[in-house]
Amino acid sequence: MPTREPDCSCGRGPSVAQGKWYGVRSYLHLFYEDCTGASPDGAGASPHGAWAPLIWKVSISTGILFLLVGAAALATGSLLPPKLEGIGEEEFVVLDVQAVRYNHMLGTCRLVGTALCVAAGVLGAV
C-alpha cells in the first residue's frame, strides 16, 4: 500500500479550496496545517509528538533533582572535617573505629555527589 505524503502546493488550504486568497495568513495556514500533516483539530498529529514535551520535562526535573542532591552530598563530604583515626604515640596507637567509619562516609558522600552531578549533566545534555 503506497504511503500518502501531504501535498504542500498552493492549491490546498481552507481559503484556496473555496476559491479565495487572503494573503500571508492563508500562506501560513497552508504551511502549518497542510505541509506538516497537522489538521486544525489535531487529528493528523503524530502520536510521538505528544511524548516529547513530557520526556523533556521529566528529564530536566530529574536532572535538577540529581544536581541539588549531588551538590548537597559534595558539600557534606567536602566541608565537614575528617576525624583523627589513630590516637596515641609511636609505640601505642589506638584505632578509633567510629572515626574510620565517619571518614569512610565522608568519602562516600563525595563519590555519590560526584556521580549524581555527572548524571544531572548527562540528563541536561539529553
List, for residues 50-88, the tens digit of each pLDDT value.
788 888 888 999 999 999 999 999 999 999 998 888 777
User: What pLDDT sits at residue 30?
Assistant: 62
Task: Output the DSSP codes for 70-93.
Answer: HHHHHHHHHHSPPPP-EEE-SS-E
Q: At residue 19, does pLDDT exceed 60?
A: no
Q: Taking 70 as the threshold, does the pLDDT of residue 115 lie above it? A: yes
What's the pLDDT score for residue 56? 86
Mean pLDDT for the chain overall: 76
- Neighbour count for residue 13 (Cβ, 10 Å): 20
Q: Is the pLDDT of residue 12 over 80?
A: no
Write down the pLDDT at residue 18.
56
Q: Are 13 and 30 in contact (CB under 8 A)?
A: yes
Q: What is the pLDDT of residue 32?
A: 65
Q: What is the pLDDT of residue 15?
A: 47
- For 20-32, write each residue's pLDDT tens digit: 655 555 666 666 6
Q: Which residue has the cell 533533582?
A: 65
Q: How many CB atoms lie within 10 A of CB 63?
A: 19
User: For residue 89, what pLDDT is reported?
Assistant: 77
C-alpha–C-alpha distance, residues 109 and 117, integer Å: 12
